[in-house]
Amino acid sequence: MGYDVEELVDGIQAGMSAPGGRAAIARAITLVESDRPDHRASARTLLEKLDSRPEVIRIGISGVPGVGKSTFIESFGTHLTAQGLQVGVLAVDPSSVRTGGSVLGDKTRMAKLSADPRAYIRPSPSAGTLGGVARATAQAMMVLEAAGCDVILVETVGVGQSEVTVAGMVDTFVFLSLARTGDQLQGIKKGILEIADVIAINKADGDHAAEARVAARDLAGALRFVQPAGAAWTPPVLTCSGLTGDGVDQVWQRIQSHREAMGSDGLASKRARQQLDFTWALVRDELDQRLRESPAVSEVGERVSRQLLAGELLAPTAADLILEAYDQG
C-alpha cells in the first residue's frame, strides 16, 4: 500500500470532523504501526510534518482483569466529549498470533463512544514486543494530537510490564481496581502502585458502593508504605462506576489536579525525559528489526537453532554466534 504523506498531513490537520479526516487518521496510524522499512521512512516524514500540541492531556488507564476498563473509558470519554472536548482512545490489545492485528473488539465494547463525533477509537496491536508498543502507541498519539484531540486515553491490556511502558509515555496514569477481590492488595504489584497517579475503585454501584468505599480506604492506607517520604503528589484513591457514571467526574478532577501539581515546568521536564526514553526504545526496536532481517543472521540462525534444540550448544554461546554474524554482516 502506497502512502501520500502530504495528503495524509492535510487530512489529519483538517481534523476528525472534516470530510475524509477520519480516514486520513486511520491510514496514518496504520502507517506508523507498520514494520516495513519503506513505511517506517514514510512515517518519520509524516511525523516531522505534524504540528506538536503540548497542551494535549495524555492519560494511561490500566487495571486488574475484569475491572471494567472499557466500560469506564466509555463513560469517562463520554463525560469529556459532553464538555466539548475531542477524545482519542488507543486500546493496546494483545497481538493476534497469526496476523499481528488486535484481537479485542474495543469498538464493539464502547459502542456509544465510538458513535460520538467528538471521539476516535483505535485498537492498537501490541506488536508482540514492548518496543512495538512504545513505537506504535507513542506515534499514534502524535497523530491524534495533530488531529485536534484534546485528551488521549491509552488503555492497556492488564497488569504487567506493558503498563510501565505506557506510564512512561503519558502525563497521568490511572489505575482501576475492584473491591471484590478478597484481599484488595492481592495480585496488585507494588510497582504498579508506585507508577499510579490516580487510583479508582470501579464498579462502586448498587449494593457494592459501601464495599468499594471500604476498599478505597484500605488501599489509601496501603499507599503510605509505597510512597516515598516527602512526595510532591500522593495518589488519591476514589470510587466510581463506569456503568452508572457515578464518580467519573471526580476522577477527571483529580487528573486535572495532578497536572496542575506538576506545573508547566514539571510537565515539560517529564515529557522531555519520556522523549529520551522513547528514543532508546526506538533504537532497540530498530535493532531488533535489523537483526531479524539480516541475511547473515538468518544463515547462522538455522544452524544455531538446530544445535540448541539438540542440546549441543548453550544459550550464551548461541547468542554470541548470532551477534557475531550480525556484526560481520
Number of Cβ within 10 Å of residue 287's Cβ equals 12
SS3 274: helix
Quote the mean pLDDT of the chain: 85
The letter for the amino acid at 106 is D
| Vertex 271 angle, CA 268 and 277, to 5° | 145
Exposed / middle / buried, residue 263 (Cβ in 10 Å: 0-12, 13-18, 19+): exposed
Cell numbers linked to 243: 456503568
What gap in Å lies between CA 46 and CA 6, rounded to an integer? Answer: 8
Distance from C-alpha of 263 to C-alpha of 30, rounded to nearest angstrom: 34
pLDDT in tens, 236-263: 999 999 999 999 999 999 999 999 999 9
- pLDDT score recorded for residue 33: 87
Choose among 182, 193, 170, 183: nearest CA to 63. 193
Coil, helix or strand for 255?
A: helix
Chain-centroid distance of CA 266 in Å reads 21
195, 205, 204: which is closest to 170 by C-alpha? 195
* Torsion over CA: 284, 289, 294, 299 (sign): positive
Instruction: Kindly state the cell numbers that stand for 18.
Output: 472534516
Question: What is the rounded CA–CA span in Å between residue 131 and residue 286?
Answer: 9
Rounded to two decimals, the pTM is 0.86
Provide the grid cell at 163. Answer: 503498563
Give 283-307 pLDDT, tens digit per residue: 888 888 888 889 999 989 889 999 9
Could you read off the pLDDT of 180-239 as tens digits, one per residue?
A: 654 445 445 566 777 899 999 999 988 888 889 998 988 888 777 777 766 788 899 999
Q: For residue 254, give the amino acid letter.
A: R
Separation between Cα atoms, residue 101 and residue 123, nearest integer Å = 9
What's residue 35's pLDDT? 82
155 in Cβ contact with 238 (< 8 Å): no
Q: What is the pLDDT of residues 35-94, one digit of tens each?
A: 888 998 999 999 999 988 889 999 999 887 788 998 999 999 999 999 999 999 998 754
For residue 105, what pLDDT band results from cuts at 50, 70 and 90? very low
Set of cell numbers at residue 255? 487528573
Rounded average pLDDT over 275-288: 86
Q: Which triple of cell numbers denotes residue 91?
A: 486500546
Would you state the cell numbers that stand for residue 53, as one nine-digit string? 500540541
C-alpha cell at 196: 499510579
Structural contact between residues 188 and 177, judged by C-beta atoms closer than 8 angstroms = yes
